[in-house]
Structure 1
C-alpha cells in the first residue's frame, strides 16, 4: 500500500508547479474487462478438461489534462492480486518537448511493442518490452528525430514485491528440491535509459530505426554490495500498405554481486506476482511480420512473431518462442487468437528462460483472449 501511495504521489509531482485556474476539459475514465481461454498441449490437466476458460483481469484507466499539464494512470485487478501498471504526470513544455514523472514507461527497444500477440515477446519477460519504473523522463522531437531519456529510481513495487508489470530483477527464493533452494537478493535502482530513433517516410513506406541503451545499479541489500546492468539494442519498424515488419537485436548483462551462494550465470526475476530464473547474460533476437486489414465493421491483423534468447553460457540452452495469430478489433471488443510454439520458455512448458532445458521438445498452446473496453 505504501508503494501505491508513493507512486501516486510521484505521479502528481509536476502539478503544483504548473497548474493554474483552468478547468479540466479532457477527463477520460475507462478500462477493460478480459477473459481468457487456453488449451495447453504440455498440461495433462488442460487436455483432460479440453482447455481452461476463466477471468483474466479488470483494468481502470484515468486520463486528464489542463492546458499543457496532464496525468494518466492504469490500475489492474487479477485473480488474487492487483497493481498499478503506470501512473504519471506530464508537462508539454512545447510541441516538441515533454517531461513526465511517476511510474513511467522505460524508453528502451522497439517503440511501443516488440510484438503483436497477447503473450508479448521474450523481451517482455526479461524487462525489455512494455516495462515501467518509478522515475522521471523527457522526450524531444526534432523533425524525423526523437530523443527519449529517463532516470528510473526504482521498480514500481521495489525488489521483494513481484507485482511489476514486466520482468524485473528482484529479491526472492527459487526452490530446487525439498532441501535446497537459491536466494537472490537484488533490486534494480538508479537506472539511466535512453532511446534515439528516426522516422523516415517515403510514399506509403514508413521506417523507424533506432538504438537504445540502459545502465543501472543492482543493489544487494543483504550484503550491502552492488552489481550493475548494461543493456543495449538496435531496432527497426517498417510499415507499408498495412504490412508491418519489426526486428531487434538486444544484448543484456545483469552483473549481480556474487555472494558465493548463487550461480552468477543465473538471475532471479519477478513479474505478475511470480518469481523465476533466467540467464543473467545473453542476447535476444526478434523478428515479426504482420498484415493489417481494414473492413467496414472493424479491422484485423494477421501476424507471426518470433523471439529467441541466446544465453552467453555454453551449457545453457536457447529459449525460442514463435507465435502465429490474429487480433480482431470490432467497436469496443478486441480479441487475440494465438498459437504458441515454444522451446525452453517459462510458463509455456518450461520453468525458466535461457537456462538448461529438460528436453528438446517443442511445447504448444492455443489461446484466445477476449477484451471489452469501456
Structure 2
C-alpha cells in the first residue's frame, strides 16, 4: 500500500506529475516540518470491512528535517505508523559544483521514472518488487548536465544494515527488499549494489535508461546475485503528464529458489525470482479556485507484471482517481481494480484469475 506522500507541492504548482514535500528552508540552518495523514478504505475482498462500510484509520505521522549548515546539506524523515516506526530517509550531501551533488546515507536508489513511477497513493506494481521509490544505505553522485541527467550510486546494504543489522523485525521498513528465499527459509539481504541511471530531456520529454547490479548475502556468505534494467519515458505536455516504463529483473540464487521473501510495512510477502514489468500512466492537471482548493490532478495508472518465474499468473493493477490540494491539505481519491496485487487482496506470487477492487481515500495535512 502506498505510504509515501510527496506529490502535493508539485501538484499544487501543476509543473510535473509528482515531487517532494519539504519544509521551507532557511538560508543556513535546519527547518522542521512534517505531516499527519488519515485513510478511509472500502475493500470488496474483505467481508468484514465490506459489512462495516469500510474503515477509517490513522495512517502516518511524520517529522522532516531539511536544510544546510556550512554548505553541508541534510535531509531526514522519521515516520510513525500504528504498527511500526521507521526512518524513511536520512542523508547528508554537498554541492561539488553547479552540476554535481554528492549524497551519502539512506536515500532513494536511482532507477526508472523519478521520483515516482505513478500518480496515485498505491504506486505502481513495480514498487512491490523493490523497483520504485526504493531506499537503501549508500552513496550517490547526481549530475545535472543540461539536457543530460546522470546518477551513479553504490549501496552497501539495505536501510536496516544488511544481513546482520541489529533490528527487531526485518519487515519494519518503508520500501520493499528481499529478506529470504522459499527453498529453505534462509535469511538474505541485498549487498554491494551498483546503480546507474541516465536520462536525456528534449521537448518536455525525458528519455531514460537504468540498471541495477548487486549481490545477495546470507549469514554464512554469498548467496547469489541480482540485476534489473529499465527504459522509460516521462513527458509533460501542457496540462498532461505521461509515464511509460518497461523493466525486467532477475534474482539468481545459489539455492535455485524461484520465489523470494520480501518485507515492508511490518508485513512479509513474496515475489517471483524474475519477471517483466510494464507501466503506463497518464495524468491531467487543473488549476482551480474553489474555496481552499487550488489544484486537482486526474489520473489513470496501469501496471502489468508478467513472464514470472514458475509460470505464475500475471499481476495486473489499474488505479483511476484524482488528487486535491487545499492549502496544506493533500488528498488522494483512488479506485483500484487488480489481480494478484499486494494490498488489493492478493500477492505477487498469487495464482488466481479473480479480480478485487478497493476504494481508498487518503487525506493529510503538511506543516
TM-score, length-normalised on structure 2? 0.87
Q: Does 1:286 align with 2:279?
A: yes
Bigger relative CO (Cα 8 Å, ≥ 6 apart): 2
Following the alignment from structure 1 to structure 2, what is the Cα–Cα distance between the partners of residues 123 and 67? 38
Which residue of the partner structure matches residue 316 of structure 1? 312
CA contact 1:135–1:154 (8 Å) conserved in 2: yes
CA contact 1:30–1:62 (8 Å) conserved in 2: yes
Which residue of the partner structure matches residue 150 of structure 2? 147
Q: CA RMSD in A?
A: 1.7
Structure 1 moving runs of 4+ over 6 Å: none
Following the alignment from structure 1 to structure 2, what is the Cα–Cα distance between the partners of residues 69 and 257? 42
Residue 346 of structure 1 deviates from its aligned partner by 1.7
Following the alignment from structure 1 to structure 2, what is the Cα–Cα distance between the partners of residues 170 and 349? 22
SS in 1 for 2:91: strand
Following the alignment from structure 1 to structure 2, what is the Cα–Cα distance between the partners of residues 170 and 313? 18
The Cα offsets for residues 199-236 of structure 1, whole Å up to 9 and x where unpaired, read as 113xxxx1001000000011122x53320011000001
Q: Does 1:366 align with 2:362?
A: no
The Cα offsets for residues 239-279 of structure 1, whole Å up to 9 and x where unpaired, read as 11110110100000011230xxxx61111111111111111
Following the alignment from structure 1 to structure 2, what is the Cα–Cα distance between the partners of residues 225 and 98? 32
Bigger-Rg structure (1/2): 1
Following the alignment from structure 2 to structure 1, what is the Cα–Cα distance between the partners of residues 159 and 74? 17
Structure 2 residue ranges without an equivalent (≥5):
1-25, 164-168
Alignment size in residue pairs: 333
Q: Does 1:163 align with 2:156?
A: no
Q: 1:240 aligns with which of 214, 237, 242?
A: 237
CA contact 1:186–1:256 (8 Å) conserved in 2: no
Which residue of the partner structure matches residue 211 of structure 1? 209
CA gap 1:35/1:211 in 2 versus in 1, 3 angstroms: same
Mapping of residues 29-48 of structure 1, within 5 Å: 29-48=32-51
CA contact 2:119–2:299 (8 Å) conserved in 1: yes
Which residue of the partner structure matches residue 133 of structure 2? 130
TM-score, length-normalised on structure 1? 0.86
Following the alignment from structure 1 to structure 2, what is the Cα–Cα distance between the partners of residues 280 and 225? 17
Q: 1:102 aligns with which of 102, 105, 127?
A: 105
Following the alignment from structure 2 to structure 1, what is the Cα–Cα distance between the partners of residues 301 and 172? 26
Residue 141 of structure 1 deviates from its aligned partner by 1.6
Q: Does 1:112 align with 2:115?
A: yes
